[in-house]
Structure 1
Amino acid sequence: MLRWIIFIAIYLALGLYTLQALKTVSRYPWVYYAFILLSLLVLGNFVYQFTVGDDTGRVLNRPKSYAFGLLLTMLTFKLITILFLFSEDIFRMMSGGYQKLFGTAKEFTFPERRRFLSILAMGIAAVPFSALLYGMYKGKYNFKVLKYNLEFDDLPEAFHNYQITQISDVHSGSFDDRKKIEYAIDLINRQKSDVLLFTGDMVNNKADEMHPWTELFSTLEAKDGKFSVLGNHDYGDYIDWATPEEKMKNLEDLKILQRNIGFDLLLNESRYLEKDGAKIALIGVENWGRGGFKKAGDLNMAKSNIAKDDFKILMSHDPSHWEDKVIHDDYHYHLTLSGHTHGMQFGIEIPGWVKWSPVKWRYKYWAGVYEELGQYINVNRGFGFLGYPGRVGIWPEITVITLKKKPMV
């Protein structure tokens, strides 16, 4: 209860400070009242969803996600506005202190300065405010197909131009627009790839989150098969279960569900993809993540039935596994496919110019293709969303990778 009181007090204080800027910018009382009403509604909905209306334990359901998203949007607007006004207040305090200390008659306050800074602050704050709202309304379903050509010296000739579609982090428990998901499934199928690889996090917490979407995802097609691995959310670790047996059953139900969809779920296992008498190894590990995430992945077990000189594609949900274990393994993994980071669902990307997200401070490899020690990894930005119910700048991704035999020089 004390935490809620402190949080509400801080939120209201930020609102009052922002209101002063609004009064400086506008002379119309209805504008102030609209801001106060909107601010209180956002706060009230957030408190309600996470207290009185919360009957789901730690599960972040759709109403709670939107309550969090709206609160984040409002706080971003307030904090950016306050950042400008606070700097002005500091300036005025220092100016007043200077005048009193030295008795100067010089005027350090400017009547229009406050108004100018208020307009500037609210104009700048309106940009992320609008972007976060857009991210919840449109951005979360702004699916992008990203295509890469990767060349290898030792790729079997038969697999030249072999095409892989990768999806990751479906998080079906967050979906709220069937038409958009139907469009995305059709977009995947239109790539007509040879194989479809899903790199984990089918659900947020429970297998039954996928039940409304099972039939739709069953329509995914790839002529050489559909393969999957588990992500950290698939184990049900972020929910309070009545018994360990209930949690275990949930995981088993999810495994069965994936197989019913048509995925060959690799649990520290391997398969061979064959074409015209040649083959490449496909390895799938369970989740292995740095920083408190589940470490069920066993690379040694997964590679036990393949040869060291095979051409290898590894599916591993968390890219920290690649960084910490895979690239230094005695086997050479030509291509690793991961997800997990979501690109934080927020950032700035202009192809060829800039790629930035705050998640880079946690994950060195957080989105796109990287190469280390002659080995590649693609970190998929994710198909779905979690927590903040939207995406800004980092759009939902369908990856298409074409394997190429490097030409002889």
Structure 2
Amino acid sequence: MDTQLLDQLHDPNPERRVAAIKRIAQTKDRRYLAALETTYRTDPVAEVREVARKARRYIQRETGQEATTTPPTATAFPDKAIDAVEAAIHRARDDYANGDRAAAIKILGAVLDEHTHLQRRDDIRRLATIITDVSSPDDALRLLLNFDSRAALIQRYGDKRTSSNTQQNLRLIVIAAALMVIGVAALIILLAAQSTLSNIAGFGSGRSEVRTLSTSGTAYHLFVPSGFPTAFGWPVLIAIHDKGQSGADMMMYFEEHARREHIVVIAPTFANIDNVVINESHPAYQAMARDVNDILNEVDSDTNINVNGINIFGPVIYGRGAGGTFAAQYAGSYNFPLAGIAISNGGPRLATPPFISPVEDVIQMLILVGEDSSLRGAAEQYANAASRAGFFPDLHLLPGTAESISDEETQLVIAMVVRAYGLDVDS
């Protein structure tokens, strides 16, 4: 066993603990089971415990033994207290993102008063430097933990929650007048401030943008939610379009849902999607698969998000029509596991399900087909084959032939993403 991995299970940073659990799961080494069981029973963070549970089950299933993990006792983890603390931290981030720095300082300071051990967490240290505008994490935390200095910060930035509408309007008038006087110089300062915000780690734009992959020139649409992610990153949905469509079409269907559920969406445009052949050696398929891999790496490095989210089994891939055919095959050849697969009116053309190891409660599979579609019989056979292979497919019949994406389809896909990442699971 790798002793460094075992040591990382006790790292004060939950992100590093999750990273260690992911690497352990990929080893499929049963010697780690006891350590994963201990992490599941004793880790103070609910998300880390859930990842440890899934990793343990994955190794047991892969090595031929069913999972027998016993749930932790009710007294072992004060989940409600932990959830309340995490909710308060999230609220502080949201307040700062919405421009209410004073409220963020007040909330984070109160949390640290009650839970001083949190100052060792990297995400808390980073948040402290951002909301206090102090570059040193230690200095920022000292300001927040000292009642007088914290009160001075709150007074300096003003408590927007106690401001009247008249005061807010007066501020706007003063700001507008100042901008008129300062003119171009003020605009330059404002642009510089916006640039600074956009470079804060994990600070999404909240709107989609078009990018060009540096390695191949393939265009892709990217949506990153606004505000701060959890310590474990955002869920990621890869949406592959049908022939005659583009990444822009996929983004049009999913952006609003993704904004509401805080999901990253990656929607590439493949000019040769019409020629996709379900054969790993086919040049068209290889080029598309390589582009998806490169896009994931580029997004992960450029935006400081974790494309694996809080789930050790990677992003969710969804494809429609020819895109569904590609998505199903890609799921079988992807170098790392996926959190889920959603295929609509395309993937069922395959004779067998993707050649990946099914994992109960981890790999989500959604098969969508029109109830009047000529592909319905093939979809049902595909779902049956997936069940025999050990998957737990959700076959859903859409109204009519489902030749185009409906709001029901997008909602079903988003709901599957939520399930795949355990976002609706009360740990």
Shorter-chain-normalised TM-score: which range? under 0.3
TM-score normalised by L of structure 2: 0.24
TM-score normalised by L of structure 1: 0.25
Structure having the higher strand fraction is 1
Larger Rg: 1
Relative contact order higher in (CA < 8 Å, ≥ 6 apart): 1
